[in-house]
Amino acid sequence: MFRPRFFSPFFLALVCLLVFSATSAFANDNDWKPIDPAELSSTKPVVEPNADAEAIFWEVRMDDSSSEDLVFNHYIRIKIFTDRGRESQSKVDIPFGKISSYKIRIEDIAARTIKSDGTIIELKKTDIFERTIVKANGLKVKAKSFAMPGVEPGAIIEYRWREVHENQMANGIRLEFQRDIPVRTVKYYIKPYANGETMRVQTFHGNGPELVKERSGFYSVTMTNMTAVHEEPNMPPGDQIKTWMLIYYTPLPTSNPIIYWGLVTVAYNEILKPLIKVDNLVKQTSATAVGDATTPEQKLKKIFDYVRANIKNVSDDASGLTAEDRLKLKTNKSPSDTIKRGQGTMADIDLLFAALAKAAGFEVRVALAPDRSEIFFEPQFANAYFLEPSSIAVKVGDIWRFFNPGYNLLPFGMLRWQEEGEEALLISETGALWVRTPMSPPELSQVKRTAKLHLAEDGTLEGDVRIEYTGHLAVEKKEANDEDSPQQREDNLRDMIKANMSTAELSNIQIENVTDPVKPFAYAFHIKVPGYAQKTGKRLFLQPAFFQHGLGAQFQTSERRYAVYFHFPWSEDDNVTIDLPAGYTLDHAESPAPMAAGNISAYNVRIQVADNHTVIYHRTFFFGGGENIVFPTSSYGALKQVFDAVHTSDEHTLALKQNATAASN
């Protein structure tokens, strides 16, 4: 599956890499800035106490004043504290070349190392290598590469270069304020294009520093003590945690978001009108689809099912179409085209759904939404950079409902998790309307697991297992498996099970509904786990939480740098029955204590014994109730406690005692 983008992620990443991959000087200024002796003798980082290297300053002069080229002059000075810092910082690659329609060249590279004793080693021109990284089909990415000479802990390295983007404007350029090492001072000088639309800047996750007017038409923006970007499990998306600035040009009034979004809506509406046009064919088709449905819910479901069933989704990566096949396809210019051809992209299918719903009398709007896997968007920021057409909003009663039939793994009424719980801009002739998309509650994304098992006297556990996933969990599973062969899907399952129960042997594997949009993704299999229970002289020890066996704790470290972020709420429902071996009885049948964290989460386990022979274990858990999926660092301790407690309870062990008769035999 793909999602339409204004710029492909590859292109954006490449531009970012080109602009900020390493680092610049002042144009036509061949002099290095003086070195402060204190910096040379310093042995401790300033911004982060354990940093291996730290940028003393990082300066970029971005000159967009020319009607032709966009020029960056980079200059960075880095203090090296450790061998690791030396390893990570002393090899420099500066990409350039022809990427898409852009051509970038690199000029005037200069670099030097200043050892802690003040010795200066200049980089020789002959030590700068030009490499063609990749060349293919009009694309030619090259790099100037060099290794800084004589680098050792205590040294300062600095380098600068000029980067010229031919025939490009700074519109949509991102200026980063954080990098892989901490930076004491980041300073951008910005010179806008004077003869066109107004350049604007928007800072994300910084303190909104002032633009300061400088000489020669430049403005500057400075930030200090910028920490490095680190990686943590369950962290928010990169654009949400990093400090960065977006440069863009617009004739629209961004100071008043209401006016801005109104104008954006008008523009979009002009584009969209023909794409959701209701003509006779659409009316007839709508009537056929709706059939005898009477309630709004029934009608929408019928239309949803109709487009899914009757229009081949050519965007589906499991459709069997190659890239070449897709290129041969004709573009649908209206909903009628889509009906006539019986096939369309995911966008065509969404638009057809919109047109059919409209023809059925519903108030319909195309929804533009941000992607929660990239950033948590706020409409106060008047820039459509983050918004993309993503779903169809239909008013049912007083409520806007959202549908995305074009994404064929989603059930009726659900959006991709990336678009849930976000402000969406609904496009219509009547102006901009922001509506928050609903977030699916935990019960809609559920993993339901059942196991009917028998425990042998030697500790081997054997029986039949079924695991079903719904909602977003099902989408994830289907996406992960839909392109795989049946054999590979079985291998995926084996790997998943054996990761936590290495001795497990699986047979009679069935994997169901991999490409079915409605039914739960399901595994069914027979399992045998030698050594599952531990045997002592007179007891067997058994973990009844079969599905949690071997799992580690969710959070294993004491410190947390960033907020904890779960993509969506989910729930778990486990039913495990274990027939005990003859001659053994349960020494105790205590259940772990239940737990609850307000409406956010609850955990319950009930252990029963039937006929003194069968352990019945029922476990339920949910998380993310009340749309609580983001937790600030300050609540990490409490969150960890909850998950630790769940983990401890999941490890709860039952002791089976050997009957006196059996023991004596």
Partner 1 sequence: MLKKLIGCSFFLLLLAAPALAGNDEAPAWLRDAAAQSNPAYDADVPAVVLRREQNTTVGDDGRIVTTTYYAVRVLRREGREFARAVVPYLTDSSKVRDINAWVIRAGGTVKHFGSDYVTDAISDPNDVYNEVRVKVIPAADDADSGTVFGYQATVEERSIFGYDDWSFQDRLPTLVARYALTLPTGWRAQGIVFNHAKIDPTVTGTSYSWELDNLRPIEIEPASPEVTDIAPRLAVSYVPAQGATTTLKTFTNWTDVSRWLSELHDPQATVNDALATKAMQLTANAHTELQKIQAIARYVQGLQYISIDIGLGRGGGFRPHAATEVFAKSYGDCKDKANLMRAMLKAVGITAYTVVVYLGDPTYVREEWASPSQFNHCIVAVKVSDETQSPTVVQSPKLGRLLIFDATDDMTPVGDLPAPEQGSLALVVAGDNGSLMRMPVTPPDSNHMERQAEMTLNANGSITASVHERSIGQAAAGERRLFRKVSRPEYTQVIERWITRGASGANVTRIEPADGSADGRFSLDVDFSSPAYAQLMQNRLLVFKPVLVERSQSLLLTKSTRQHPVVLEPYALTETVHIKLPADFDVDELPDPLKLDTPFGSYTASYEVKGDQLVFTRTLTLHATTIPTDQYASVRSFFERILATEQTPVVLARR
Candidate list 95, 365, 652, 658; residue touching partner 1; CB under 8 A: 652
Give whichever of 29 and 483 is closer to partner 1, judged by the CB atom: 483
Min dist. Cβ of residue 578 to partner 1 (A): 17
181 touching partner 1, by CB under 8 A: no
Candidate list 21, 69, 116, 149; residue touching partner 1; CB under 8 A: 149
Query: DSSP secondary-structure letter at 225?
Result: E
Min dist. Cβ of residue 134 to partner 1 (A): 4
Residue 399 makes CB contacts below 8 A (sequence gap 6+) with none
Of the candidate spans 25-33, 259-267, 287-295, 613-621, the one that interacts with partner 1 by CB under 8 A turns out to be: 259-267
653 touching partner 1, by CB under 8 A: yes
Min dist. Cβ of residue 113 to partner 1 (A): 9
Q: Please, how many CA atoms are within 13 Å of residue 377, restricted to the half-sphere of its CB?
A: 28
Q: How far apart are CA 598 and CA 539, in angstroms?
A: 39
Over 268-288, what HEC string results?
Answer: HHHHHHHHHCCCHHHHHHHHH
632 burial (CB, 10 Å; 0-12 / 13-18 / 19+) is exposed
Amino acid, single-letter form, for residue 563: A
131 touching partner 1, by CB under 8 A: yes
663 touching partner 1, by CB under 8 A: no
5 touching partner 1, by CB under 8 A: yes
Query: DSSP secondary-structure letter at 150?
Result: T
52 touching partner 1, by CB under 8 A: yes
Of the candidate spans 296-304, 485-493, 609-617, 621-629, the one that interacts with partner 1 by CB under 8 A turns out to be: 485-493
Q: Cα dist. 132→13, 108, 142 in Å?
A: 18, 19, 4
Q: How far apart are CA 643 and CA 554, in angstroms?
A: 6
Candidate list 172, 238, 438, 583; residue touching partner 1; CB under 8 A: 172
Specify whether the CB–CB gap between 628 and 567 falls below 8 A: no
507 touching partner 1, by CB under 8 A: no
Binding residues for partner 1 restricted to 560-589, rule: CB under 8 A: 587-588
637 touching partner 1, by CB under 8 A: no
Q: How far apart are CA 133 and CA 346, in angstroms?
A: 35
568 SS3 class: coil
Q: Cα dist. 407→145, 348, 434, 566 in Å?
A: 43, 11, 22, 22
498 touching partner 1, by CB under 8 A: yes
Q: How far apart are CA 204 and CA 375, in angstroms?
A: 10
Of the candidate spans 29-37, 211-219, 266-274, 615-623, the one that interacts with partner 1 by CB under 8 A turns out to be: 266-274
Candidate list 74, 77, 79, 86; residue touching partner 1; CB under 8 A: 86
* CA torsion through residues 521, 524, 525, 527, sign: positive
552 touching partner 1, by CB under 8 A: yes
149 SS3 class: coil
Min dist. Cβ of residue 197 to partner 1 (A): 8
Candidate list 264, 394, 439, 629; residue touching partner 1; CB under 8 A: 264
Q: Cα dist. 638→564, 642, 644 in Å?
A: 12, 6, 10
Q: How far apart are CA 475 and CA 468, in angstroms?
A: 12
Give whichever of 110 and 396 is closer to partner 1, judged by the CB atom: 110
Candidate list 171, 234, 450, 635; residue touching partner 1; CB under 8 A: 171
Residue 484 has which token pair?
């795989």
101 touching partner 1, by CB under 8 A: no
412 touching partner 1, by CB under 8 A: no
483 touching partner 1, by CB under 8 A: yes
Q: How many residues bind partner 1 (CB under 8 A)?
A: 100
538 touching partner 1, by CB under 8 A: yes
Of the candidate spans 28-36, 127-135, 443-451, 517-525, the one that interacts with partner 1 by CB under 8 A turns out to be: 127-135
Residue 639 has which token pair?
């969150």
Q: How far apart are CA 144 and CA 95, in angstroms?
A: 6
Specify whether the CB–CB gap between 234 and 222 falls below 8 A: no
4 touching partner 1, by CB under 8 A: yes
195 touching partner 1, by CB under 8 A: no
Min dist. Cβ of residue 57 to partner 1 (A): 22
Give whichever of 111 and 473 is closer to partner 1, judged by the CB atom: 111
119 touching partner 1, by CB under 8 A: no
184 SS3 class: strand
Amino acid, single-letter form, for residue 582: A
Candidate list 38, 136, 309, 399; residue touching partner 1; CB under 8 A: 136
Specify whether the CB–CB gap between 304 and 403 falls below 8 A: yes
Of the candidate spans 264-272, 303-311, 335-343, 595-603, the one that interacts with partner 1 by CB under 8 A turns out to be: 264-272
Of the candidate spans 129-137, 288-296, 354-362, 439-447, the one that interacts with partner 1 by CB under 8 A turns out to be: 129-137
Specify whether the CB–CB gap between 376 and 240 falls below 8 A: yes
Binding residues for partner 1 restricted to 196-215, rule: CB under 8 A: 197
Give whichever of 119 and 298 is closer to partner 1, judged by the CB atom: 119
Binding residues for partner 1 restricted to 212-251, rule: CB under 8 A: 248-251
Specify whether the CB–CB gap between 162 and 108 falls below 8 A: yes
